[in-house]
Structure 1
Amino acid sequence: MALFLKYFSGLPGNSCNRVSYPTRTMCVLQGTSVNISCTYSHPPDAKLYYKFWFKWRANQEPRDLQSDSEYEGRAEYPVEETGRSTLTITDLRHTDSSEYRFTFKTSQHEWKGSLHGTTLTVTGLRVEVTPVAMVTEGQRVTLTCITSCPLADKPSYIWYQNNGSVTELENPENQLVLDPVGPQHAGSYSCSVRNYPHLRSPEERLTVQCTMSLSGELTVAMVIEGQRVTLTCITSCPLADKPSYIWHQNNGSVNGSENPENQLVLDPVGPQHAGNYSCSVRNYPHLRSPEETLTPPSLHVSCDHAFHQLNLCVLFILNEMCLFFTALQGNDDWTVTCTSSNVCSLRGSTVDISCTFKYPEKQHDLSTTVLETLWFTKEDRNQTPVDLLSDADYTGRVESSCGEISCIGSSCNRNCTLSIRDLRQSDSAVYNFRFKTNQPGGEHTANPGVALNVTDLHVKVSPWGNNANLECDSMCANATYIWYRNGQRVEKPSWVDIYSEASYSCAVEGYERLQSPSVCKSTPQYADMSSMFFHSHHISAV
């Protein structure tokens, strides 16, 4: 990445004080270990007094991780390494998510470690079931092993069913697809990453329900008064015990309708049998078929299939019926789409993150109502998202707003925006959006979320002889930069004289108040050091 300089040489070949981090962001699994490295240099004639790694905390002095009680026995780095240092943290915890920096002091200079280091995010695993955790036999179910951020090395995933019974299904795409799902798939699922089988996610239970339908078996293709009609209650999978079936006409029970043979015979059929019929199973109250309508039979009227449209005949056709608790949706009915998966913003500025969610206007004769929307970056001990509006780290700096609901056909959508003011480096995280409805299992989360990187501006200096080339540097790409010389706006400088009295700084167009630290001529305390002509002088960014 970028090479950040605190001091630089005015003559070719001379050494500078510098620290460079090859990796700026890392995402690592909780419970594992991580290596964070940097390279550093200082003038060869300078004596090195100390060097150490520390966890960056705003407005706090650096504290050596090896003497930090929070990292006791877990953080170390070889002191004998020269020009390079590698920090190793073992048994990673969620609280280790932070930015790590390196500092050193010589007889000539103290590197304050005030520039960006490496941001580490520690994540756990969890299982998400799509469409819902209670499904009907025959549906397509996708289990996804989710982390809060993309892991550093693209891993392979292993799935477990029912208390550690390994399925041995390894998938680099972190998904286990059950299509079609059946009773054998019911149970508790967890996942792990290859090489870390002991670091499993919490279990997520999948419930698979049988379907029930009602069909009519006819002695003839046409029904008239006096004929025999047989109604049959059908389930899509065997029930545990041999059940008794109960019949319902117009939402009331049919006398004498309990039958272990799952059939109701109307013989002879007459006008009194007209109405809506459904069936259920004793001891399985959640299993009840959709209703079928029996139209009053005609008296001695012969008819064909065309009369079915006119309700002059009753034709019972074998249909594929749905269980009352049908799964909520297909993947296209319920979605959360964010405008961008990666956002980069300046420290001190304001950022807007937007997501649009889609849901069916109605499901199972129940109008869908959105009960809750929330944004979050982390979860509590119970794996429950922590709403940013109540997160102490964002107090007074976040707002969430949602636009009007727009419905076209049977589908509705709505846009929600999260605004974060006065951005801090600690705000760099993955932001997730979740909405909840009144439908069973109607809770959905954006996947993936939006990764926000908060960055500062720095003037990158490339010396050459008595001149230097200046570049405005940040983690954000495609920015339009503006320049200042002695506080006055100027065109972008090309080569500048290192002996000049001028100081230079830069800013992103539209955020002029967020200027970078200035680069200026050496102060008197370094006047006798021919290798140094400039130093950094910080200007408030807010």
Structure 2
Amino acid sequence: MLVTEVRRTFIGFILYISASVKGLLGQTNTICALQGSSVELHCSAENLTSNMKWYTVSWDEYEVIQTELSPDGNRVTYHKSEERYFTVTINDLGKSDENIYCCRENTDTPENCWSSGTKLNVADLQVKVIPTTEEQTVSLMCNTSCPLTENPAAYIWYKNREFLYQDWSPWYQQLVSSEEAVTYSCAIKGYEHLRAPEVSVDSVTSTCFTVTYAKGRMCSKQTSVDEPCSITYPKKVYVQKKRERGHVTLTCNTSCPLTDPQTAYRWYRNKHIYRYSVGQHLLVSSPTDGSSFSCAVKGLEDVHSDEVCAENKTCWSVNYVQRRICALEDSSVNISSEYSYPDNQQPKSKSWYKLKRTGREDAEELTEDATGRVVYQENQNQHILRIKNLKKNDSAQYTLRLQTDTGCKQSHFTPVTLIVTDLRVKFTPSAEVTEGQRVTLTCSTSCPLTDDTNYLWYMNSRPLTLPENQTKHLVLDPVSSQHAGKYSCAVKTHSISSSEETLSVKVIQISQLSLGKSVEITNAVRLTVVLLITCLFCLWLRKKTLISPTESNTVQTEQYINVSFKVMNPVTAAQREPAEQQEDTVQDLFGF
């Protein structure tokens, strides 16, 4: 799940994750820790004894195998105290540590360890590339292979291995187009040494996009996890249905042909993963139970097809118009869904839920309130959740559940992700600069707004006159003392603006500037005069030897050759350089 707030305090260089074993039969706790971090597991057995040990348990064909986890004093350590406290700490977590753990006195009845232990998942970090509705762009997400049990303190982004920014949101703040030799990476604060493998976007079209990964799990099917690979993904996935005698053939089609023979697919039946097929085609025999099916390309499960009914009749299905939404704080948002149901089983009710990190059982039902902040809207088979006056803590995942006589039909494997962002002005290289430098102002967000967003810029609460299509970047090149002041930005279509941020410009001392320029001008004039005199003298000697005295006198009465030169101020020359694409270069911006 996504983080809703940035922690104000960081819990240390090591991400410290705790889990308590509940000891209830049939209930297994699941925790997820970052690869390379440390985890501490607590034993909550009712009667702790000095003979207690930690075990891992695994399934070997037809029996459960329980194995002692021996401490080595370094990577695996036990901690005991008189206060009935018994834990095990595992450092430098790796994929091989994924297991079920329990604390016991003996190895009798290992099934109990299996059913009441703590399941540990180890997550690696990956920059996930996700298509957008924009034809030539994609979005980036700092993603873990399982939702971390502890909220990350912040996400850090890097471009070409250099620090870019940090934010509470795992969503990269801008849409990305294909750029040659540009790489992106991310890390979790406190784990900067465990960065995600670098990713570059090679090409983006209206149907496909190609990504190169430096290494990582995405390359496991192509080369190996330690070698780079390039993968082409579709922007859209859909299920095609073909009815044949006695069965139905479902095909997972993509918006562009995938030439890699090792491409695998994910099939879902009634919103649960269908583990019996990884091929592009799925044969459904005698589909009489009203099942719904959907699919995705393995490794790009975020691009999910709509659910379809295996039969021609209607079935239970829920699809979303948009699965990722970036919205401004204090604005309103519509989360739209389309649903279907069997003709003879009309849903009793329809409710939206806000999912929490701990899982489905702790989801919060959203109900319409008297203030009108949360509103349900119904239009035939379309159900819309409208949230007004958005706040940052509305950032979460949302799902629609259809209540029936037999239970709850829901779509929880592909919920809608909503990120609520404010606007902030950021200065690059900093908010304190020296006159003559280049300064870039950015109207920053925690998630990417669409490319057609128009921005408004203000200085000291006064609007700046800029070109018609204003971008989120404003460039002062060169910056002068007259540019110093308080800046803010806004989005043209919303009455929402950022707070003011101050730009301080240090003025170069006039005496130093005048002295430096006078020396340069004096030297330039001296050199020019010497060269001019030398050239004229040589020309006079040459003509004197070639013409007669009479001719010489005639020539001397002719018009003299005018020799002129222009000294160009380096600042003026810099101002004549073309502005960078997608940036508004401010020179005559303030009318001076």
TM-score class normalised by the smaller sequence = 0.3 to 0.5
Would you tell me which structure has more helix in proportion to its own residues? Answer: 2
Instruction: Provide the TM-score with structure 2 as the length reference.
Output: 0.35
Structure number with greater CO (CA < 8 Å, separation at least 6) is: 1
Instruction: Provide the TM-score with structure 1 as the length reference.
Output: 0.38
